[in-house]
Amino acid sequence: MIPDPDGLIGTLLAIEGIADARAVLNGPNGCRGYPAYFSDRHYPRENSLDRSTFEELFYFGQPRIPCTYLDCDDYVLGSTGKLKEILPLVAAKGDAFLAIVNSPGASLIGDDLNRFLAEAHLDHICMAIESAAYSRPFPEGFDEAITAALRWLKLNRLPRMKNRVNLLGFSMIQKHWQGNIAELTHLLKLMGLTVVAVPGAGSGVAELRESTTASFNIVVFPEYAGKTAEFYEQEFDIPAIVSSDGVPIGFSATENWVMAVAAATGCDPAPALAEIKKLRTRAYHQIARHHHEAGYPKGTTFAVRGDASFVFPLTVWLHDYLGMVPVSVECMAGADRAVDGQLKDFLLANHCSDAYRAIPTMAKPDFFFGDDLTGIDLVLSDRCRECIGIFNRVTGDPEFMPKAFLGGTGALWILERIFCAVKRFPE
């Protein structure tokens, strides 16, 4: 059993991913430990280092996700008393808006949070999420929370501008999310497109309000943005662009992603394609030096576990571009059936059907692409040689330079990790 974060964690991290918003957990302190630490580690705020600011009640010394620390009496008498204490203190921190999120236990109490907020005259700065996506996949909770926040904010109805787009589906749960956003923003800029907002991944309320000026929403990770894209299309008539090849990972998938965006927006893809070609050429020159030497990864095995929109293009690229062999391929809960079907068809066509949902501990791959926690466990137990993390599950190494695994730059980063690892492998 792999303990993936569930929809409640997705809800909390979605709110914390908005630059000037704050999630408030209505529940016991134990429920907020992991998401509070995680959000501060992977998306720190400017005041995170000033711990003295967060020593009062409800914060317990952590700068993120204050909570009402419900106890047994509150489950009988209700949480209104705690909420009356906590909300004025949290509101005084100066965030643009707050979101009260019920823990599973708190949702059973039955407190009417929206009525409480209205009676306390706090409904102008605070929204309520009375029932999060408990026990459902992380992406569902994230997507529903972003949609609810956008609806509550009552976004401005502004004239749409031809050269403006939003990026949907990014979350701090994805490793190097900021570098990935920067990489795709750079490619879009080469095409003459400006990114207005990335809901749930670094954009503030002002950017979210301005997001309705975009002519298109580019859905990068569909699992995290299906309802969000639907909201924009129904409420503001902003259509969504989704690449049939999944996320732009590897050179070919990135070129196809650029072409899909260009076809929908009418922009010229040539400058972005030229940039990818330049990086592809750089990769070729490096790979050519190793083609007939020890240290070439052809024939090495790999396992991958992640969202279907990521697993499919990565599997195709590693197999077709480098000649690596998939031995364990698994899509996480909530996978798109169409993409999952494409993945099975690809494995069947390449005589690798046994890899579908194979257990990585049994397959003992050379490389594991997935969450850090699983990958480190495989490496330390000698059931894998190298882990290349794509999800933030543990702190990991300090990172002083932004990195990306999407786009042309991301392809170079993955290739560097693979080739450096293979040179260390024993003969």
Rounded CA-CA distance 9/427 in Å is: 43
Q: What is the 3-state secondary structure (H, E, C) of the chain?
A: CCCCCEHHHHHHHHHHCCCCEEEEEECCHHHCHHHHHHHHHHCCCCCCCCHHHHCCCCCCCCCCCCECCCCHHHHHHCCHHHHHHHHHHHHCCCCCEEEEEECHHHHHHCCCHHHHHHHCCCCCCEEEECCCCCCCEHHHHHHHHHHHHHHHHCCCCCCCEEEEEEEECCCCCECCHHHHHHHHHHHHHHCCCEECCCCCCCCCHHHHHHHHHEEEEEECCHHHCHHHHHHHHHHHCCCEEECCCCCCECHHHHHHHHHHHHHHHCCCCHHHHHHHHHHHHHHHHHHHCCCCCCCCCCCCEEEEEECHHHHHHHHHHHHHHHCCEEEEEEECCCCCHHHHHHHHHHHHHCCCHHHECCCHHHHCCCEEEEEHHHHHHHHHCCCCCEEEEEECCCCCCCCCCCCCCCHHHHHHHHHHHHHHHHHHCCC
CATH topology of domain 7-151: Rossmann fold (3.40.50)
Confidence at residue 49, expressed as pLDDT on a 0 to 100 scale = 65
- Could you tell me the CATH superfamily of domain 161-265? Nitrogenase molybdenum iron protein domain (3.40.50.1980)
Q: Are 78 and 70 in contact (CB under 8 A)?
A: no
The pLDDT value recorded for residue 107 is: 85
| CA 389 – CA 262 distance, rounded (Å) | 30
**Per-run averaged pLDDT (10 residues), the chain, 427 residues:** 82 97 90 89 78 71 87 80 87 90 86 87 92 92 98 94 97 95 98 98 97 98 96 97 93 97 97 98 89 79 95 97 97 84 95 96 96 91 94 73 94 95 83
CATH 3.40.50.1980 fits 290-396, yes or no: yes
The two tokens of residue 125 are 């700065």
* C-alpha to C-alpha distance for 343 and 331, rounded to whole angstroms: 9
How many Cβ atoms are within 10 Å of 114's Cβ, its own excluded? 14
- Tokens (6 digits) for 315: 């599997």
Q: How many angstroms separate the CA atoms of 49 and 57, rounded?
A: 18
| Residue type for position 185 | T
User: Which one, of 321, 302, 310, 323, lies nearest residue 387 by Cα?
Assistant: 302
Q: Which two tokens stand for residue 399?
A: 């990172």
- d(C-alpha 56, C-alpha 52), whole Å: 8
Q: Which of 57, 74, 140, 121 is nearest to 332 (CA)?
A: 140
Greatest distance between any 2 Cα atoms in the chain:
74
Global pTM value: 0.95
- How crowded is residue 398: how many other Cβ atoms within 10 Å of its Cβ? 5
Question: What pLDDT score does 53 carry?
Answer: 63
Same topology between domain 7-151 and domain 290-396: yes
Domain ranges of the chain: 7-151, 161-265, 290-396
